[in-house]
Amino acid sequence: MEEKVIITLENAKIFQNDHLVVSDVNLDVKTGEFIYLIGRVGSGKTSLIKTLNAELSLTEGSGMVAGYDLRKLKRRHIPKLRRNLGVIFQDFKLLTDRTVYDNLLFVLKATGWKNKIAIKDRIDYVLDLVNLKYKAYKKPHQLSGGEQQRVVIARALLNDPDVILADEPTGNLDPDTTDEIMDILFSISANGRAVLMATHNYSTLKKFPARTIKFEKGGITEREYYDEEIDFDLLP
């Protein structure tokens, strides 16, 4: 699969409630790339994810995400942008009164799917990707934390997005479960999607090296991270 630039930010300033969080953000992300976003709490990682998702407006600089111009994006086009993005949260945000299958069904119906056969095929497909097809009719409270996070990943993949935005997706998981989730995320990246993951987990960075963006002092710095020691201060 040919790589293409799927996210571009040029001289972007990221604001949260009129407070400037990060300045001079210049970033190109290609399809198939895996990128870590690291830095202290409040340094701008989540604000960047929310800007890419159009939850926060980009008011200075320029930005393109999956073919959409963030500066010119009209409110009515935000749902179309978001169908090209899959978002994974630390706290799952699953509907607790519905089964795994019905959680995914809710998303597909909300994004315009109507064909019952196509819906079932898509749900079966994404659950198979995360090895949860056999738990489709369990409710979230009947699943482990790792299984719930796999449901969240399946949900993020439903509309075959170009980009996955993951905000501390392993923050509440034990080390073995974290490794399982990371294997899935890297597999998603290897299949041609861009994955941006905010994390504080130093051991994950060591075990699963990838391009790394550090947020500090109101800006970003970048390096290709391999298996050498790094001097990033990752703790909040």
CATH number at residue 199: 3.40.50.300
Residue 42 pLDDT exceeds 70: yes
% of the chain at pLDDT higher than 90? 74
Whole-model pTM above 0.95? no
Q: Are residues 167 and 103 part of one domain?
A: no
Same domain? For 13 and 78 the reply is yes
Q: Enumerate residues 6+ apart whose C-beta is below 8 A from 138.
A: 99, 100
Do 35 and 133 share a domain, yes or no? no
Instruction: Residue 190: give the domain boundaries.
Output: 5-84+161-223
List 7's β-bridge partners, or say none: 29, 65
Listed residues 147, 174, 190: the one ending a domain:
147
Total count of domains within the chain: 2
132 φ, ψ to 5°?
-130, 15
In a domain, 155, yes or no: no
DSSP 3-state of 52: helix
What is the arithmetic mean of pLDDT over 94-114? 93
Residues 17 and 71 both lie in one domain: yes
Sheet holding 34-39, edge to edge: 85-88, 163-167, 194-198, 34-39, 211-216, 219-223
